[in-house]
Amino acid sequence: MTTDDITLHRGLAGVYFDRSATTFIDGKEGVLEYRGYNIDELAELSTFEETAYLLIHGELPTQTQLDNYDADLKGARELPEQIFDILALIKDSHPMDALRTAVSALAGFDPDRNDNSAEATIRKGLRLTSQVPSIVMAHHNIRAGKDPIKPSTTLNHAGNFLYMMDGKEPSAQAMNLMDKDFVLHADHGSNASAFTARVVAGTAADLHGAITAGIAALSGPSHGGAAENVMQMAREIGKAENAADYVQDLLSNRKRVMGFGHRVYKAEDPRAGHLREGVKDLSEEMGQPEWYRILEAVVDAMKPYTRRGIHVNVDFFAGVIYYLNGIPQDLFVPIFAVGRIPGWTIQVIEQFEHNILIRPLLQYTGKRNRKYVPIAERG
Ligand code: CMC
């Protein structure tokens, strides 16, 4: 084969590499569906627990199924003592590094280790769904010199996550917004972290390995890290009147405006609008409406770019919601991971179902046929 015969797909953009019955995305029209249900309905009508069940089992649960699933999730929130010791040893790490390390370590404590059957992977995924919030908040407290807060046995997934931050029961509005955020983040097709998880599963490695790698992929600013950067940007902008100049300055230096653009969506990310209202309401309720005004001023400044398919994405409004809920900036990406565990789990299960090693090719551009020169003769 000559180099002329090779078609490169850098970044694998536009390449279909397998089939999936979990999440449908139409990037041109801005449509997202989990198992055939539109995200607009799920965001407004469903809960994280119900959506997670839907993703994993393919159907919305009956009340009994949901009650059992919810009880199983609540029963799996505790962490082995050794995980707290590990978190204490790495207390100064970025929370994503701490999360990645703790999830990796949990593999050794899981009762289903060495079992990659669908049933065992579902059980492991359920445990990780409950353990990941506990890890994030345990690390958060340990690094502040405090004891981790025992998970609630009654609050829902979103409420328990917020509760474990400071031991205070969150407001209904804070809980609802967090729940909606988790629903919106639960899966998203073959994004970088899910693809990474599939590559790991493709070698027949286990769910903990796949999710550990997925967390690593998620941590970068081109993927999950954007919410953190959007909040940083909003702080730097300071007030709405500064937004246009700030954005212009970024763009004229060929820098990216965080929370804008998407590899798949060339219309507005259908997840973003559900959080827009949340920012508006919460910032007004908390007497800090400037945050919403800053974000809207950035959206206005970016209007000329919508013609090029650069719209707000899910991360744009999320950061300010987290901030207003008192969540530190470096926990924003871990929140994305908390919501994404069901998505990574089902994608690993799909990968196992008809597994194939994922092993693409690289076009070689280096030198060839060089003669080995002994070290003494090298100039
Ligand atoms: N600000 C300014 N220009 C942008 C942006 C942006 N946020 N995003 C893309 N562009 C421009 C880019 O400069 C390029 O212009 P040109 O053709 O003149 O060089 C053009 O749009 C195409 O960009 P690309 O890098 O080829 O597009 P991509 O599909 O590789 O990038 C992206 C997708 C998400 C990495 C990118 O849009 C980006 O870096 N956005 C900012 C980070 C961000 O918000 N990430 C969160 C993504 S949503 C969460 C998730 O689902 O993972």
Q: Which of 218, 228, 262, 308 to mutate to test the pocket of ligand 1 (most atoms within 8 A of CB)?
A: 262
Q: For residues 278 and 181, what is the distance between their CA atoms, to the nearest angstrom? A: 10
Q: Calculate mean pLDDT across residues 289-302.
A: 96
Residue with CA at minimum distance from ligand 1 atom 8: 261
Residue with CA at minimum distance from ligand 1 atom 36: 261
| Beta-bridge partner residues of 34 | 23, 37
Which of 194-203, 235-244, 272-281 shows the lowest mean pLDDT across its residues? 272-281
Does residue 104 register a pLDDT over 80? Answer: yes
The catalytic residue among 185, 188, 262, 274 is 262
Which residues, other chains included, contact 96 with Cβ-Cβ below 8 Å and sequence gap of 6+?
215, 218, 219, 330, 333, 334, 337
- Biggest alpha carbon distance in the chain? 77
C-alpha closest to that of 216 among 202, 200, 204, 203: 200
Whole-number Å distance, alpha carbon 15 to ligand 1 midpoint, is 18
DSSP state, 84?
H
Work out which ligand 1 atom sits closest to the CA atom of 309.
21
Tens-place pLDDT, residues 227-272? 889 999 999 999 999 999 999 999 999 999 999 999 899 999 999 9
Q: Calculate mean pLDDT across residues 192-196.
A: 98
**What single string gives the DSSP state of each residue in 139-203?**
HHHHHTT-PPPPPPSSS-HHHHHHHHHHSPPPPHHHHHHHHHHHHHHS--SS-HHHHHHHHHHHT
Q: For residues 224 and 241, what is the distance between their CA atoms, to the nearest angstrom? A: 28
Predicted pLDDT at 64: 98
Predicted pLDDT at 225: 81
What residues flank ligand 1, with Cβ below 6 Å? 11, 188, 191, 222-223, 226, 256-263, 310, 313-315
Work out which ligand 1 atom sits closest to the CA atom of 308.
21
Handedness of CA 371, 374, 377, 379 (dihedral sign): positive
Q: What is the signed CA dihedral for 191, 196, 202, 203, rounded to 10 degrees?
A: 180
Residue with CA at minimum distance from ligand 1 atom 41: 258
Q: Which of 12, 250, 256, 264 to mutate to test the pocket of ligand 1 (most atoms within 8 A of CB)?
A: 256
Taking the CA atoms of the chain, what radius of gyration do you get in angstroms?
22
Question: Mind listing the domains of the chain with CATH numbers?
Answer: 23-221+329-353 (1.10.580.10), 226-324 (1.10.230.10)
Residue with CA at minimum distance from ligand 1 atom 29: 263
Tens-place pLDDT, residues 5-36? 899 999 999 999 999 999 999 999 999 999 99
- The distance in angstroms from the start CA to the end CA of the chain is 35
Q: For residues 290 and 238, what is the distance between their CA atoms, to the nearest angstrom? A: 9
Residue with CA at minimum distance from ligand 1 atom 10: 261
Q: For residues 282 and 284, what is the distance between their CA atoms, to the nearest angstrom? A: 5
Distances 22 to 55, 100, 272, 280 between C-alpha atoms, Å: 7, 25, 20, 32
C-alpha closest to that of 320 among 311, 329, 310, 307: 329
Predicted pLDDT at 226: 85
Q: Rounded to an integer, what is the distance from CA 267 to the centroid of its chain?
A: 20
Whole-number Å distance, alpha carbon 161 to ligand 1 midpoint, is 31
Which residues, other chains included, contact 287 with Cβ-Cβ below 8 Å and sequence gap of 6+?
none
pLDDT grade for 341, boundaries at 50, 70 and 90? very high
Whole-number Å distance, alpha carbon 255 to ligand 1 midpoint, is 10
Work out which ligand 1 atom sits closest to the CA atom of 223.
52
H helix and E strand count, the chain: 16, 3
At residue 38, φ and ψ (nearest 5 deg) are -65, 140
pLDDT grade for 1, boundaries at 50, 70 and 90? low
Query: Residue 336, Cβ neighbours under 10 Å: how many?
Result: 26
Distances 80 to 67, 76, 86, 108 between C-alpha atoms, Å: 25, 11, 10, 10
Does residue 112 register a pLDDT over 90? Answer: yes
Residue with CA at minimum distance from ligand 1 atom 9: 261
Predicted pLDDT at 354: 94
Predicted pLDDT at 222: 85
Whole-number Å distance, alpha carbon 150 to ligand 1 midpoint, is 40
Q: For residues 142 and 89, what is the distance between their CA atoms, to the nearest angstrom? A: 10
223 belongs to the catalytic site: no
More confident of the two residues 359 and 5: 359
281 belongs to the catalytic site: no
Q: Which of 25, 310, 314 to mutate to test the pocket of ligand 1 (most atoms within 8 A of CB)?
A: 310
